[in-house]
């Protein structure tokens, strides 16, 4: 069977695999700042200027550039610049240009509302690999309710158009929540109209202030609704014949009986990938808060080695690693920790999600 | 003869890749993967006097027949030359058909 688009074997993936097997850093995410011009309800990063100052303030562009040189020597190739809103980072353009000159392949996560002719010309003159723009809804009402930012939708669409006119690769990302669930189809339609690929995340980690609430009272979808939304996103993102193939492959993976999954970290995090937050703490990924090494003080290479070593100590659930639904389950040590408070916890939300997803796959196969 | 300074050769995870920077990224968004031989040829461009010197250096480094080396080096550099990834190669200015 031909590999599906999400399972294709590219040079990039081969390089990632090789780096992981050598335990070398090739991919990183730099969270430049916690500041943002929007105030989204579900955000777990945003701080005000005064809160940021109280926590030590931002690192300077020069500090990030110095770190860039260390990353270049260590072999880092792919960097995601994120925040907060990265375009608000002081001297963003200088930092961006310097990182590009070092031979880094840059992707940017932005809300898109600050993009204007000047920004678009800047990115046209030295293109990023891609600009990921988060779309929070399909109209200004959604932006006002969820992000408390009047006019945000129109500004974002304007920004996407400016980039597309200049031939810059853009992708729309979104997260499905209870408040924008009904906008999903419209968001895909907007993407099609603009000629921009869309990806909607249906699994959201529990919000910072909602972890003790029952699922019904959290802003994310109930697990069964999220599973249904995921299958809908796959249906929207794949051609019909590939969608059927996807269903068959997934059911086959479950039927075959998954091999026992490792109990440690199973993704790139801490194997060939890292995240540095705005305070300069290097971690395996944006979700995990430990191991955490102060990279500006420790130096990149030493911080990487320490983080990798300590990340190996994180162990997930033995029950999950042997579960027949593991091939379609989204659990990992990071999500288990946020869902249950323990790396080896069995997250009820994800068990319900995976059970429903299997049921929906079976249903879709029989249609 | 020189490499376009907006392309950077990096060796990452055992792979040699050319990364476009600045205005070169308008032409190519991504990277070019080079074989070991191609990476060796790239490294010679800025210091060799002409293409024949590159042929000689490649033959010193790799066990390869002179004609095959010449054909492959001219072919590879021609592909880069027409994309402005390598520049100022007099032999190429005379037209690729003569190569």
- DSSP string across A179-191: TTGGGHHHHHHHH
pLDDT value of position A1? 42
Chain A CB contacts of B32 under 8 Å are none
A161 and chain B: CB distance < 8 Å anywhere?
A: no
B71 and chain A: CB distance < 8 Å anywhere?
A: no
pLDDT value of position A367? 65
CB-CB contact of A282 with A274 (8 Å) = yes
Please state, rounded to an integer, the average pLDDT across all residues of chain B: 91
CB-CB contact of B66 with B52 (8 Å) = no
Q: What is the dihedral of CA A223, A227, A232, A236, to 10 degrees?
A: 110
Answer yes or no: do B10 and A77 touch at CB < 8 A: yes
Answer yes or no: do B13 and A11 touch at CB < 8 A: no
Mean local confidence (pLDDT), B78-96? 86
Q: What is the DSSP letter of A313?
A: T
Number of other residues whose CB lies within 10 A of the CB of residue A297:
9
Residue bearing the bigger pLDDT, B91 or B88:
B88
Give the pair of three-digit tokens for residue A85. 């809103």
Q: What is the ipTM of this complex?
A: 0.88
Q: What is the DSSP letter of A109?
A: E
Measuring CA to CA, how many Å separate A26 from each of A15, A74, A77, A270, A271?
Answer: 8, 8, 5, 11, 9
Assessment of whether the complete model's pTM goes beyond 0.80? yes
d(CA A60, CA A62): 5
pLDDT of B37 above 50: yes
Smallest CA-to-CA distance from B13 within A67, A74, A128, A308 is with: A74
Chain A CB contacts of B27 under 8 Å are none
pLDDT value of position A9? 64
Q: Which residue of A has its CA nearest to B19?
A: A103
Smallest CA-to-CA distance from B99 within B68, B78, B81, B69 is with: B78
A130-134 and A105-110 strand pairing: parallel
Mean pLDDT by 10 residues, chain A (367 residues): 54 93 97 93 84 95 98 97 96 97 96 98 96 94 88 97 97 89 91 95 82 84 95 90 93 81 89 97 95 98 98 95 92 94 96 97 86
The DSSP code sequence of A152-177 is: HHHHHHHHHHHHHHTT--EEEEEE-B
Measuring CA to CA, how many Å separate B53 from each of A156, A299, B43?
Answer: 54, 42, 13
d(CA A336, CA A348): 9
Mean local confidence (pLDDT), B61-81? 96
Number of other residues whose CB lies within 10 A of the CB of residue A105:
26
Q: Please, which pLDDT band fits residue B95 given cuts at 50, 70 and 90?
A: low
- Domain coordinates of chain B in residue numbers? 2-98
B31 and chain A: CB distance < 8 Å anywhere?
A: yes
Q: Which of B9, B12, B33 to mutate to test the interface with A (most CBs of A within 10 A)?
A: B12
Chain A CB contacts of B8 under 8 Å are 101-103
The number of helix segments (H) and strand segments (E) in chain B equals 5, 5
pLDDT value of position A181? 85
The CATH fold of domain B2-98: Arc Repressor Mutant, subunit A (1.10.10)
Measuring CA to CA, how many Å separate A177 from each of A62, A182, A199, A303, A330?
Answer: 38, 9, 14, 36, 17
Tokens 């190569």 identify what position?
A: B99
CB-CB contact of B45 with B3 (8 Å) = yes
């Amino acid at each position: 069977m031909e590999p599906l688009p999400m399972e294709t074997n590219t040079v990039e993936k081969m390089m990632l695999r090789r780096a992981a097997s050598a335990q070398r850093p090739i991919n990183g995410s730099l969270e430049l700042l916690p500041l943002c011009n929007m105030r989204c309800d579900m955000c777990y990063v945003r701080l005000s200027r005064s809160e940021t100052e109280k926590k030590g303030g931002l690192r300077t562009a020069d500090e990030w550039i110095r770190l860039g040189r260390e990353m270049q020597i260590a072999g880092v190739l792919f960097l995601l610049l994120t925040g907060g809103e990265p375009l608000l980072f002081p001297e963003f353009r200088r930092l961006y240009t310097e990182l590009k000159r070092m031979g880094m392949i840059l992707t940017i996560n932005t809300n898109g509302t600050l993009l204007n002719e000047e920004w678009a010309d800047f990115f046209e003159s030295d293109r990023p690999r891609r600009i990921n723009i988060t779309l929070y809804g399909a109209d200004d009402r959604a932006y006002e309710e969820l992000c408390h930012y009047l006019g945000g939708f129109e500004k974002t669409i304007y920004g996407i158009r400016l980039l597309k006119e200049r031939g810059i690769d853009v992708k729309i990302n979104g997260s499905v929540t209870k408040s924008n669930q009904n906008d999903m189809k419209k968001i895909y339609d907007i993407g099609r109209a603009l000629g921009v690929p869309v990806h909607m995340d249906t699994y959201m980690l529990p919000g910072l202030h909602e972890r003790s609430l029952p699922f019904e009272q959290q802003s994310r979808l109930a697990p069964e609704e999220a599973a249904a939304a995921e299958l809908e996103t796959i249906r929207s993102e794949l051609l019909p014949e590939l969608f059927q193939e996807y269903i068959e492959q997934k059911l086959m993976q479950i039927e075959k009986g998954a091999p026992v999954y490792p109990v440690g970290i199973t993704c790139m995090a801490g194997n060939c990938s890292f995240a540095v937050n705005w305070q300069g703490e290097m971690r395996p990924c944006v979700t995990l808060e430990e191991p955490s090494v102060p990279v500006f003080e420790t130096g990149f290479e030493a911080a990487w080695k320490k983080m990798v070593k300590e990340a190996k100590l994180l162990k997930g659930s033995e029950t999950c690693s042997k579960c027949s639904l593991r091939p379609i389950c989204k659990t990992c040590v990071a999500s288990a920790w946020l869902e249950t408070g323990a790396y080896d916890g069995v997250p009820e939300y994800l068990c319900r999600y995976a059970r429903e997803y299997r049921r929906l796959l079976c249903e879709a196969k029989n249609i | 003869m020189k490499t376009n300074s907006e392309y950077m050769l990096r060796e990452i995870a055992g792979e040699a890749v050319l990364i476009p920077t600045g205005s070169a990224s308008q032409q190519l968004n991504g990277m070019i993967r080079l074989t070991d031989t191609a990476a060796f040829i790239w490294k010679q461009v800025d210091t060799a006097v002409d293409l024949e010197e590159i042929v000689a250096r490649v033959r010193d480094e790799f066990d390869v027949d002179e004609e095959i080396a010449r054909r492959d080096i001219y072919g590879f550099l021609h592909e880069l030359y027409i994309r402005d990834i390598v520049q100022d190669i007099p032999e190429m200015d005379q037209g690729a058909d003569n190569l």
